Chains A and B, each alone.
Chain A
Amino acid sequence: MISVSGVTKAYRDGEVRRQVLRGVDLELAPGGTVAIVGPSGSGKSTLLNILGALDTADAGTVRIDGVDVSASRPAALAGFRNRSLGFVFQFHQLLPDFTAIENVIMPGRIAGRSAASLLADGLELLDQVGLRDRAADFPQQLSGGERQRVAICRALVLEPPVLLADEPTGNLDAASGEQVLELLAGLRRRRGTTMVLVTHNPEVARRCGSVLRLDGGRLTPA
């Protein structure tokens, strides 16, 4: 399902070259889950962006769901991202001009579906994270944890075969975190979703099939 080999990535900060990834390999079968841990600034978000075809690797190959992501330009992969990937960004990235429920169903609107056909699924998801009665609120009316949960619902609304989540429980208290983990587990049971979770939360890591540590530009078993 996910097959990564020899991925390198460097950023140029003026004259300084920062080698963030130095040959990352990762194999994940369909339905598999992996937690990626590692110190801040080690390149976890960078790796996730490359997996999600938002960023390109300098070298190496990335295949997701049979698609060679590394060979195509990110813009050309828009449809693939919309259909096959669910993103939970490290910073929730909700759209402030849209209500919670409108944010949740946005990937479906991008896919060309009507709001009416998406509403029931969206409200059901919000219900599962305890935010059904906040559906009509705008993001600035929600707390940080509530926003994060709305963002997770948005990533799941089209029930994508692959979920890429960057610290999905980062802003959440234990109870909310538990709700989110239940949500993810349910999706995995129902749809066999493949998941890559970047996390600092040992509880999240414990529930994943494997835990990998990103440090010094390489992935190693934790």
Chain B
Amino acid sequence: MGFVWHVALRYFRSTRADAHIRVLSSLTAGGLAVGTAALVLALAALSGFQNHLLTDLARHTPALQVELAGSGAGVPGEAAEEPAALVAWAAATNGVSAVQELLYARGWLAVGASVQQVEILGFEKAPPVWIPVGDRAARGLIVPIAVAQKLGLAVGETVRVFSPRPGLTPLGPRPRTRTLPVAGIYRSDRADYEELPVLLPLEEAAALFAGGDRRLDLTLEPEAEQELVAGFLRETVDPAKATVVGWREANRALLFVLRLEKSLVFSAVVLIVAVAAFALLASLSLVLSSKRSEVGALAAMGAPPARLQRIFLALGALLSVGGAGLGGALGAGVAAFLDRFRVISLPPDVYIVEYVPFLVRGSDVLIVVASTVVFTGAASLLSARRASRLDPVEAMRSART
């Protein structure tokens, strides 16, 4: 063992002997244990939630979306950009397992005298997976429960659907309209939709809302690399005709909020570690002032200032590593336990999971370790520098008075 650790270990042992220093150094270790445990737990809870949320989101969001341009021009009678060619092109791309064409528009539903403006979603083949309807083969209107309640609708009743764009008839412009049966009512508590859409088959929607926004939702083969496929599509498509968007891009705002949430929680909890670092600073200062004359003697015997500094850095590490390590292990253990046995339950109608999930991520633990090292290192450095600046004659004189 080198000189530095030899001395640091003895000083560490001597912190047990002095009552004041013992209290302060126990406070340091305890504070660091609590701080790191709280940090690991808080980040694990957030990671657990976000992991659930993102898995759920990924399940409900198509891997890639192709937004078709040229639609929505709004000129009555003008056909939207023919999407058939693009659908064929997307379907033929390597890694794409399915293509669904969708149409978005605003329209009205009318039942008797009541009229309601709604979001319209035309779907090809079956309703998209993220709309939780029981009967996927239903042909007709699929209405969110809020709209159904407002208009007093039940399955089997008929509704008139209006398009805001008039159609040209030999008798002059007339509103385009269709009467369709309600085939299903759905309930969804997905938070990322301001207004849940009324669904109807694509051919009906296309006839009513020729100028609506068209989009292709691509499902990828399980082994396909989303970024690679997206890159290929972007290169081959005419940007004037279509834009390719990945689900991370499509959910950029949400992902940003999640990251922000994590850094805010981290900043709040890391304060515990900061306070513990102050306790460490106090302990080290107390050790230094009780060892002043000895440090002076070491300097007089030729220990260079840098080595004296390292003694106190090592002492800071000895005083903090135990507490921080214990706290980190404790936090991770408690998080794993709470997750494994689903200890904390949540009301099922409010959250997407019925218990608080915890996920201990290596990267989170690394951040906790790094921040603890930064705080305790700064505290140690502050007192270590004072040790290295000690004037040996002054310091040794202090012992006799």
Contacts and interface: CB of A to CB of B under 8 A. Distances in A.
Contacts, number: 71
Given A78-B303, A109-B6, A110-B301, A91 B396 contact: yes
Contacts of B13: 97
A82 interface: yes
A81 B396 contact: no
B392 A54 contact: yes
B294 A96 contact: yes
A110 B297 contact: no
Interface of A: 49, 52, 54-55, 74-75, 78-83, 85, 87, 89, 91, 93, 95-98, 106-107, 109-112, 115, 154
B44 interface: no
B338 to A, nearest CB: 43
28 contacts: A49-B393, A52-B300, A54-B300, A54-B392, A54-B393, A55-B393, A75-B299, A78-B303, A81-B301, A81-B302, A87-B300, A89-B300, A89-B396, A91-B396, A91-B400, A93-B296, A95-B10, A97-B14, A106-B298, A106-B301, A109-B3, A109-B6, A110-B298, A110-B301, A110-B303, A110-B307, A111-B302, A115-B6
Contact of A82 (B294, B302, B305): B302
B355 interface: no
A107 B302 contact: yes
A91 B304 contact: no
Contacts of A96: 14, 294
Interface of B: 2-3, 6, 10-11, 13-14, 293-294, 296-305, 307, 391-393, 396, 399-400
A89 B297 contact: yes
Contacts of B293: 93
A110 B297 CA distance: 12
A221 to B, nearest CB: 28
A175 to B, nearest CB: 26
Nearest to B388: A75
Nearest to B305: A75
Most buried by A among B14, B302, B303, B399: B302
A115 B301 CA distance: 16
A104 to B, nearest CB: 12
A98 B302 CA distance: 18
Contacts of B14: 96-97
Contact of A78 (B294, B305, B393): B305
Most buried by B among A78, A107, A112, A115: A78
B400 A82 contact: no
A93 B392 CA distance: 11
Contacts of A107: 301-302
For the complex of A and B, the 7 pairs showing the least CB-CB separation, nearest first, are: A82-B302, A97-B10, A78-B304, A81-B302, A93-B297, A109-B3, A110-B303
Contacts of A106: 298, 301
